[in-house]
Amino acid sequence: MRALVKYAEGPGNMEIREVEEPSAGPGQVKIAIEKTGICGSDLHIYHSDIAIPVRPPVVTGHEFAGTICEVGEGVEGWKVGDRVVSETAYTYCGVCPACRSGFYNLCPERRTLGYWYNGAFAPFTVVPAARLHSLADHISFDEAALTEPLACITHAVIELTTIKPEDIVLLSGPGSVGLATLQVALAHGATVVVAGTNVDERRLKLAKELGAAHVVNVQKEPLADVLAKLTNGAGVDVVLECSGSERAVESGMLALKRRGRYTQIGLFGKPITFNFELVNYRELQVTGSLGSTYSSWEKALALMASGAVRTGPLISHRIPLKEWKSAFEMFEKKEGLKLLLDPHDA
Ligand SMILES: [Zn+2]
Ligand SMILES: [Zn+2]
């Protein structure tokens, strides 16, 4: 089969290669992949500037949905034809305190599909059956390819942040992650203000369509004025920072009320500078998030199944796998929103 392979460490070193089609070993299933999303971290694997362990040569891609086409020895509860998505934490130690508390996303031994194990920019992949979640019939494979990023979001927004129906939330960074985060906050009854910049004009429009109470282009309108009016000068209850831009951190903290809650979802990719003393003076509760857990996958799937979160409107392009390079470039230039690759056309 033809697959997108990171074949050596170092910048670039990625190409479509002919690789052996995998088969399901004991405890594993083989999945026929329908679509695979391009994630920011795929770009980082491409550039070799990511802190998560990568083991080349490896088939990349980890945000996917498909159908079981082979069941390995000893697997129970799954059969050929089942529609599924799979967690990406392929192996972890199972005995460290993080693992034993259910936070295997933080296991130092965690090794990931598409980084360490052959992933999903390919027509087939093999995963441990223990990582599967079943997909409701009415969720399309394209929509379901966004389950993995949505599970990271439900982990951050539901499991690590408290959002109450009366809360006013400031969300910065209306990319596909931001717009899914918006919908999760809305599902909890919050009033959400979405902030972006000139490059986000179209995304801000979509944020409004998806239910944001207000959208603000911070290059055209002073965010502080909008929020002061909305909160009678008290500040917002929660900040969900999805842009990973340095400036958004301090302006987010300044936007918060005393004892407000700040969650960092976007990654910066470099050390940043901001006034951390704001955390003292306002007694802010600050948290960050990494990856996803079993429970956050179930929450993501439930939100999609109920229609509370719609990932369909976040998909802007469906591109043949053979055009991966121009798709990666589009993603990097922030063209479009969520880009899916079709592994059947490589
Ligand atoms: Zn991802
Ligand atoms: Zn562990």
Q: Which ligand is nearest to the CA of 91?
A: 2
* Å from CA of 261 to ligand 1 middle: 25
* Å from CA of 113 to ligand 2 middle: 16
- 209-253 pLDDT, tens per residue? 999 999 999 999 999 999 999 999 999 999 999 999 999 999 999
pLDDT for 51 equals: 83
Q: Which ligand is nearest to the CA of 107?
A: 2
pLDDT for 297 equals: 98
* Å from CA of 147 to ligand 1 middle: 9
Q: Give pTM, 2 decimals.
A: 0.95
What secondary structure does DSSP assign to 127-185, as a single string? EEGGGEEE--TTS-HHHHTTHHHHHHHHIIIIISS---TT-EEEEE--SHHHHHHHHHH
Instruction: Write out residues in the chain with pLDDT < 70, as ranges.
Output: none
Q: Which ligand is nearest to the CA of 92?
A: 2
According to DSSP, residue 22 is labeled: P
* Å from CA of 184 to ligand 2 middle: 28
